[in-house]
């Protein structure tokens, strides 16, 4: 569960970090398009206004160089391309840059077309204006009969002079009234020249043709200027500027949204990190607990190991000693038996000798008193009895050093406990109540005799511990399922308890706190060995003044002797 939460938490942190990094990168690289667009449009507007002014100056004759009116076209086209590039991909929901650009483009094309026509018209006017004085001079010369000087006093010369001046002023300020005057003057000149001579009439026609061109082109120029001022390039630029401002506003909104998202993400990240820290703390706490449990288990295992090696060493020693003692013991016992047999023979011989002597000399019949022989026999019997006790002790010690499992079978532990409690009943019944707290454990494969011996030993010890207590004691026999393949048996008493400094020694062979003759100190060490050979463990916990609990853990299936030996060899 904790592991899954940790994975989820790390996943969330990773996702949040990625999102945050992306958002920050987006914030760091701002979209400069709107600002650039606005700057280019302002520039364009300025160029466009100057251009219009140039064209007007040209038309008014204030600008002598008509090429200059074409110059802004290239610059404007370049700006247009820049703006087109900047506006590319605009998906602003509020502005419509592409359609505004298209509108500007068509206005611009119209303006270029008009400017081209103005240029052409200006070029024709300037051409005719240049030729006008030449044609006038030719006509003067013709009227003067070849002289180069104009006839200042003739009416036709006056008319010619006026008409040239009027046309010149029409070029600067064209108006209908002046045009009417010029038209009349031209008709009068054509007529006067026709009356003078055919050559003069021809020269007058040339001059009048130039004048007519100037007048026509000038009228066209006025119309083109009107058309030019009607072209909405400035409005189109204004519209583009509005769209760019909308784009900029969208951009600002987008950036503020990004900033809000960064804030939310950071907040969530802090929450996720706090959660991770909490999980980590919980995890470490659990690890620490597991660690302490493992340490405890390790310590228990070590003490079991020490205990078992102690017992093993002791077992070997006992086996050696018993073997060594056995031979002289058998010898001494045989000698005692021999002496006893010979004493019996001696006594029989003595009885018959005494009978014979009594018949011959009754006074010597009391040579060996009867009670002395009887005493000797008694001493021999006592000696033999002592030797039997030593033999029994040696058999017990031998059994300890070589605890065969006995017959292994599937046994009911609760029944075995009941059996042991029944045998110990006479020890327990006056001092304690027996409580059976059985957990319906399954049958296990073990030696019934040996386990009963263990239970009996533990119950007897419990009875001894409760014997001198002021209150009636309580003996609890408990069984539980420990794990899938282990069972637990507990024998708990409310006796004297075991002091902490004594507790580690109780499983040692020959350790006893009981008076001489009352305890051998072998009971618990034999229990330990039996449980160990069954592949289980036995331990005790105790509180002085409150009581002691012995806990046995056994596998469902006891190990075979060979398995156990192999295990010991491997250890």
- What CA–CA distance (Å, rounded) separates 2 from 343? 87
Work out how close the CB of 545 gets to ligand ADP at its nearest, in angstroms, rounded to a whole number. Answer: 11
CA angle, residues 129, 132, 137, in degrees to nearest 5: 150
Residues 6+ apart with CB under 8 A from 557: 444, 445, 485
Which CB sits closer to ligand ADP, 276 or 540? 540
Instruction: Please work out the total of residues on this chain that contact ligand ADP, with binding judged by CB under 6 A.
Output: 20
Whose tokens are 């707290």? That residue is: 437
**Residue 421 near ligand ADP by CB under 6 A:** no
Residue from 128, 453, 496, 533 in contact with ligand ADP (CB under 6 A):
496
Subset of 357-416 contacting ligand ADP (CB under 6 A): none
For residue 216, which of 124, 342, 79, 100 has the smallest C-alpha distance?
Answer: 124
Does residue 462 touch ligand ADP according to CB under 6 A?
A: yes
**Helix or strand run (H / E) with residue 537:** strand 537-543
DSSP secondary structure letter of residue 120: H
In the shown chain, the binding pattern of residues 506 to 525 toward ligand ADP, with x for contact by CB under 6 A and - for none, equals: x----xxxx----xxx-xxx
- Which residues within the stretch 523-542 sit at the binding site for ligand ADP (CB under 6 A)? 523-525
Among 125, 207, 416, 498, binds ligand ADP (CB under 6 A): 498
Q: Which residues pair with residue 541 across a beta bridge?
A: 549
Report the residue number, 326 or 512, with the smaller CB distance to ligand ADP: 512
* Nearer Cβ to ligand ADP (419/519): 519
For ligand ADP, give the closer residue by CB, 441 or 524.
524
Residues between 182 and 201 with contacts to ligand ADP, criterion CB under 6 A: none
Which position among 214, 465, 489, 531 is part of the footprint of ligand ADP (CB under 6 A)? 465
DSSP annotation string for 276-308: HHHHHHHHHHHHHHHHHHHHHHHHHHHHHHHHH
Longest distance between any two alpha carbons in the chain, whole Å: 233
Closest CA to 100 of 247, 238, 231, 250: 238
Chain positions 309 to 328 lying near ligand ADP, rule: CB under 6 A, are none
Calculate the CA 51 to chain-centre distance: 65
User: Taking CB under 6 A as the criterion, which residues in 113-172 touch ligand ADP?
Assistant: none
Residue number with CB closer to ligand ADP (34 or 523): 523
Q: Which stretch binds ligand ADP (CB under 6 A): 47-55, 145-153, 233-241, 494-502?
A: 494-502
d(CA 446, CA 555): 9
Considering only 461, 479, 494, 533, the residue that binds ligand ADP (CB under 6 A) is: 461
Nearer to ligand ADP, 19 or 540 (CB): 540
Closer of 251 and 549 to ligand ADP (Cβ) = 549
Using alpha carbons only, how large is the chain's radius of gyration in Å? 68
Phi, psi of 350 (to 5 degrees): -65, -40
Say how far apart CA 70 and CA 77 lie, in whole Å: 12
Supply 437's token pair: 């707290």
| Residue closer to ligand ADP (CB basis): 34 or 509 | 509
Establish if 254 lies at the interface with ligand ADP (CB under 6 A): no
Q: Per the structure block, which two tokens stand in for 118?
A: 């103005």
Which positions lie near ligand ADP, rule CB under 6 A?
A: 457, 461-462, 465, 493, 495-496, 498, 506, 511-514, 519-521, 523-525, 548
């Amino acid at each position: 569960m904790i592991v899954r939460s940790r994975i989820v938490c790390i996943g969330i942190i990773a996702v949040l970090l990625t999102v945050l990094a992306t958002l920050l990168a987006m914030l760091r690289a701002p979209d400069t398009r709107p600002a650039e667009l606005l700057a280019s449009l302002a520039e364009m507007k300025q160029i466009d206004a100057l251009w219009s002014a140039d064209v007007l100056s040209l038309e008014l004759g204030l600008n002598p160089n008509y090429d200059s009116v074409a110059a802004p076209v290239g610059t404007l086209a370049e700006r247009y391309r820049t703006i087109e590039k900047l506006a590319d991909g605009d998906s602003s929901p509020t502005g419509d840059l592409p359609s505004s650009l298209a509108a500007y483009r068509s206005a611009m094309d119209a303006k270029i077309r008009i400017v081209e026509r103005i240029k052409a018209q200006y070029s024709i006017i300037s051409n005719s204006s240049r030729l006008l004085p030449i044609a006038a001079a030719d006509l003067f010369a013709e009227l003067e009969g070849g002289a180069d000087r104009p006839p200042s006093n003739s009416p036709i010369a006056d008319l010619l002079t006026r008409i040239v001046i009027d046309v010149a002023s029409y070029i600067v300020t064209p108006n209908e009234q002046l045009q009417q005057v010029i038209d009349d003057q031209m008709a009068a000149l054509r007529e006067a020249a026709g009356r003078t001579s055919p050559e003069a009439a021809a020269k007058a026609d040339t001059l009048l043709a130039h004048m007519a061109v100037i007048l026509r082109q000038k009228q066209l120029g006025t119309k083109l200027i009107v058309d030019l001022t009607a072209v909405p390039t400035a409005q189109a630029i204004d519209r583009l500027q509005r769209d760019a401002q909308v784009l900029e506003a969208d951009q600002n909104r987008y950036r503020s949204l990004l900033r809000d998202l960064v804030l939310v993400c950071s907040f969530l990240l802090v929450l996720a990190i706090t959660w991770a820290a909490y999980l980590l703390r919980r995890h470490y706490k659990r690890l620490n607990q597991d660690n302490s449990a493992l340490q405890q288990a390790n310590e228990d295992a070590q003490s079991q190991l020490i205990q078992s090696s102690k017992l093993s060493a002791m077992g070997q020693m006992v086996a050696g000693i018993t073997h060594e003692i056995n031979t002289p013991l058998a010898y001494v016992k045989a000698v005692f038996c021999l002496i006893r047999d010979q004493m019996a023979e001696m006594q029989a011989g003595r009885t018959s000798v005494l009978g014979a002597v009594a018949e011959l000399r009754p006074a010597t019949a009391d040579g060996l008193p009867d009670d002395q022989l009887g005493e000797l026999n008694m001493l021999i019997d006592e000696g033999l009895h002592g030797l039997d006790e030593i033999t029994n002790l040696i058999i017990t010690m031998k059994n300890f050093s070589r605890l065969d499992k006995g017959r292994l079978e599937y046994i009911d532990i609760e029944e075995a406990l009941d059996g042991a409690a029944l045998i110990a009943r006479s020890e327990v019944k006056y001092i304690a109540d027996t409580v059976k707290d059985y957990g319906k454990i399954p049958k296990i494969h073990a030696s019934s005799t040996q386990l009963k011996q263990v239970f009996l030993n533990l119950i007897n010890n419990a009875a001894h511990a409760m014997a001198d207590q002021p209150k009636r004691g309580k003996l609890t026999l408990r069984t539980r399922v420990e794990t899938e393949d282990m069972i637990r048996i507990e024998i708990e008493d409310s006796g004297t308890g075991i002091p902490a400094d004594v507790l580690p020694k109780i499983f040692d062979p020959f350790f006893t706190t009981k008076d001489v003759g009352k305890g051998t100190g072998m009971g618990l060490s034999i229990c330990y060995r039996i449980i160990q050979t069954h592949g289980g463990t036995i331990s005790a916990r105790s509180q002085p003044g409150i009581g002691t609990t012995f806990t046995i853990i056994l596998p469902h299936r006891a190990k075979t002797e060979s398995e156990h030996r192999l295990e010991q060899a491997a250890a």
